[in-house]
Amino acid sequence: MDDSGRLSLVTREGGRSMRHSRFRFVSLGVVSVLLLAACGGGGTSGSPAASCKTFKVGLVTDVGKLSDKSFNANAWKGVQDAQADSSLCVQAHFIESNQPTDYQKNIQTFVDQKYDMVVTVGFLLGDDTLAAAKANPGVKMAIVDFAYDSPPPNLVGLVFKEDQAGFLAGALAGLMTKSGTIAGVYGLKIPPVEKYRVGYENGAKYTNPSVKTLGIYQPPSGAKSFNDPDWGKARALDFFGQGADIVFGAGGNTGNGALLAAVQQNKQCVGVDVDQFVSYPDADPCLITSAEKHIAVAVKTAIADAVKAQWPSSGLLVFEAKNGGVGISAYHNFDGKISADIKAKIQDILKKLADGSLQTGYTAS
């Protein structure tokens, strides 16, 4: 399609100058495929040990697909972790969605194939997952990072305590800052974003009571909500001008813009949701860690609950420090620059968040 002129050329008389041997190879290939086709067939797919009843799990991605290195990739990792646990007898497959009209069809494909459970990824699948769960009460469904008001009993939302992840990241930032000022560039002021911010700022004050925290929510901006890296970058540069030396980018592409500003200004940055060292390599030079939702843990837990008949009746599974559902990512490039003392303090905070002796200070408003 790159060249209309050429396409019309090749249809004319074509191919005289081409050597026959090349095409022999093609026809040889055709023959060999047909032969293989005749001999092949049958075959086995990896079926688990017969000691327990197979539990079939299907994962439906959103249009980001498995290669997103983010929510979809981590959700599939959780499914694979469940599959690797031989006690669960999980047999799993995925379907990648090409377009939004595929969601319903892809969930239905698993239902038609008599899968025991379907995991869907993200709010884009919210409507279709709910509809499918209502229509198929016998199939367990779990949706990553989404919750319903009163879902049918076979459907759970997997949600995360963002404030705890933010608290850990803020605690690290409080210990790492040299200027004594840290900043955050946030997406729209909606609950998950507020939780990240409150956690981050309180975490920093916990480890560094004299720290100054700067931050700004993105005002509602139409199509650019969560998707305005230029705005995010400009705000981060403002904050650097006010003395901040670490910035937390928590707002999709808006937050990513703040990370880019940190790279450019040779400052430090904190990622969000997933390990952004992996999902957003542009930020690698500045990334000290990411406030992370352990999506793989959440998905594996939901599957295990389904297998072991511990399915929650509340329609909700909350992931927090206590169940390993939130935390901070590996330090990667900064591993050598963060002292053992600081690492120990972070570990200690994680432990205290987990056992409930430390609160993030976030209260739903």
In the complex, the residues that contact other proteins under the rule CB under 8 A are 1, 3-5, 7-8, 10-16, 18, 20, 23, 26-27, 29-30, 33-34, 36-37, 40-41, 43, 45, 58, 63, 93-96, 98-102, 104-106, 108-110, 112-113, 123-124, 126-127, 220-223, 225, 227
Q: How far is the CB of 128 from other proteins (least distance, A)?
A: 10
Q: How far is the CB of 208 from other proteins (least distance, A)?
A: 36
Which H or E run includes 59?
Answer: strand 55-60
Radius of gyration of the chain (CA): 25
CB of 37 or CB of 309, closer to other proteins: 37
CB of 99 or CB of 365, closer to other proteins: 99
CB of 27 or CB of 210, closer to other proteins: 27
CB of 83 or CB of 329, closer to other proteins: 83
Q: How far is the CB of 85 from other proteins (least distance, A)?
A: 20
Separation of alpha carbons 183 and 169, rounded Å: 12
Tell me, what amino acid is at 304?
A: A
Q: How far is the CB of 97 from other proteins (least distance, A)?
A: 9
Q: Are 196 and 165 in contact (CB under 8 A)?
A: yes
Phi/psi region, residue 115 (left: phi>0; alpha: psi -120 to 50; beta: rest), is beta
Tell me, what amino acid is at 103?
A: Y
Which H or E run includes 356?
Answer: none
CB of 149 or CB of 341, closer to other proteins: 149
Residue with structure tokens 């620059």? Answer: 337
Q: Are 141 and 133 in contact (CB under 8 A)?
A: yes
What is 146-204 written as a DSSP string?
A: ---SS--TTEEEEEE-HHHHHHHHHHHHHHH-SSSEEEEEE-SS-HHHHHHHHHHHHHH
Q: How far is the CB of 125 from other proteins (least distance, A)?
A: 9
CB of 112 or CB of 335, closer to other proteins: 112
CB of 16 or CB of 178, closer to other proteins: 16
Q: Burial letters for 275-300: b for 16+ Cβ neighbours within 10 Å, e otherwise?
A: bbbbbbeebbebbbbbbbbbbbbbbb
Structure tokens that stand for 276 in this block: 């952004």
Q: How far is the CB of 197 from other proteins (least distance, A)?
A: 20
Q: How far is the CB of 9 from other proteins (least distance, A)?
A: 9
Q: How far is the CB of 274 from other proteins (least distance, A)?
A: 20
CB of 137 or CB of 220, closer to other proteins: 220
Q: Burial letters for 128-158: b for 16+ Cβ neighbours within 10 Å, e otherwise?
A: bbbebbeebeebbbbbbbbbbeebeebbbbb
Q: How far is the CB of 53 from other proteins (least distance, A)?
A: 21
Separation of alpha carbons 196 and 7, rounded Å: 55
Q: How many CB atoms lie within 10 A of CB 65?
A: 15
CB of 218 or CB of 329, closer to other proteins: 218
